[in-house]
């Protein structure tokens, strides 16, 4: 059921993107930023690529130094760079068969030790 719902959502997204005028996309892309992930914030179930541009989930925790900036409840990682204002455009490539992932924006002060409900209603 979840796979079918994801497939339908992907199909709808692709149709929307086809109708999205190239000029609007180019206008948005002028705000593109390259995000480097911060290993000091990565949950122990997440592993970052060497260039810190990719993340993948592990089935078991790997041993990491205790760090007050690290997420321990939610499987999250923050970008190394911070932004206080402005417009930003991100391109995200999600691997084949992945049906659960989130992209969001958070304040630097977010509590990383408590469970976070990942939804638009919660402002971080």
Q: How far is CA 49 from CA 35, 36, 77, 79, in A?
A: 13, 10, 13, 13
**Cα distance between residue 43 and residue 112, in whole Å:** 9
DSSP 37: B
Q: State residue 123's pLDDT score.
A: 59
**Cα distance between residue 84 and residue 58, in whole Å:** 32
Under 8 Å between Cβ of 41 and 69: yes
What is the rounded average pLDDT of the residues 16-40?
A: 86
Whole-model pTM: value is 0.72
The answer, yes or no, to whether residue 122 has pLDDT greater than 70, is: no
- pLDDT band at residue 22 using 50, 70 and 90 as cut-offs: confident
């Amino acid at each position: 059921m979840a796979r079918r719902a994801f497939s339908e959502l992907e199909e709808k997204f692709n149709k929307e993107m086809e109708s999205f005028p190239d000029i609007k996309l180019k206008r948005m892309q002028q705000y593109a930023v390259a995000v480097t992930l911060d290993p000091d914030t990565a949950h122990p179930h997440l592993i970052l690529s060497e260039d810190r541009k990719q993340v993948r989930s592990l089935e078991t925790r790997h041993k990491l130094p205790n760090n007050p900036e690290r997420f321990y409840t939610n499987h999250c990682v923050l970008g190394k760079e911070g932004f206080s204002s402005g417009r930003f455009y991100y391109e995200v490539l999600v691997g084949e068969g992945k049906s659960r992932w989130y992209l969001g924006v958070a304040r630097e002060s977010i509590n990383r030790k408590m469970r976070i409900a990942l939804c638009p209603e919660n402002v971080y």
